[in-house]
Amino acid sequence: MGLLSILRKLKSSPDRELRILLLGLDNAGKTTILKQLASEETTHITPTQGFNIKSVQSDGFKLNVWDIGGQRKIRPYWRNYFENTDILIYVIDSADTKRFEETGHELQELLCEDKLNEVPLLIFANKQDLIGAAAASNIAEGLGLHQIKDRAWQIQACSASSGEGVKDGMEWVCKTVKK
Partner 1 sequence: MQTRPITMDFIHELISYFYWYFRPIIKGFLRLTTRLCELQRICYGEPKGGPRTCGVENSMILSRDPDIVKVIKSLDEQISVGAFKSTQTEKEVLVNAVNTILVTKRIKRDLHRQFEVSLRHCLRQIWGYKQLVQEVEKLRSEGFDSENLEHERTLLQLWALLQPGIPLTTRKTKQWQNIGFQGEDPKTDFRGMGTLGLENLIYFAREYNSTAKHILSHSHHPKHGYSFAIVGINLTHMAYRLLNEGCAKSHMFNVTDAKATLDHFHHLYSYLFVEFDKFWLSEKPRDIMEFNRIRDLFENNVRTLLAEPTTCLKIHIAVENV
| Binding-site residues from annotation for GTP | 24-31, 70, 126-129
105 binds partner 1 (CB under 8 A): no
Least Å distance, CB 50 to partner 1, is 4
Q: For residues 98 and 179, which CB has a smaller minimum distance to partner 1 in the complex?
A: 98
179 binds partner 1 (CB under 8 A): no
Name residue 156's amino acid: Q
Rule CB under 8 A: choose which of 2, 13, 114, 147 binds partner 1: 2
Question: Number of H helices and number of E strands within the chain?
Answer: 5, 6
Element housing 109 (H / E): helix 100-111
SS3 content of the chain, % helix, strand, coil (to 5): 35, 25, 35
132 binds partner 1 (CB under 8 A): no
3-class secondary structure, 145: helix
Least Å distance, CB 105 to partner 1, is 15
- How far is the CA of 16 from the CAs of 72, 166, 178, in angstroms? 33, 21, 10
d(CA 125, CA 46): 21
Contact (Cβ atoms closer than 8 angstroms) between residue 83 and residue 117: no
39 binds partner 1 (CB under 8 A): no
Catalytic residue from among 36, 49, 57, 71: 71
52 binds partner 1 (CB under 8 A): yes
Least Å distance, CB 175 to partner 1, is 31
The residues assigned a catalytic role are: 71
Binding site for partner 1 (CB under 8 A): 1-2, 6, 26-27, 42-47, 49-52, 70-74, 77, 80
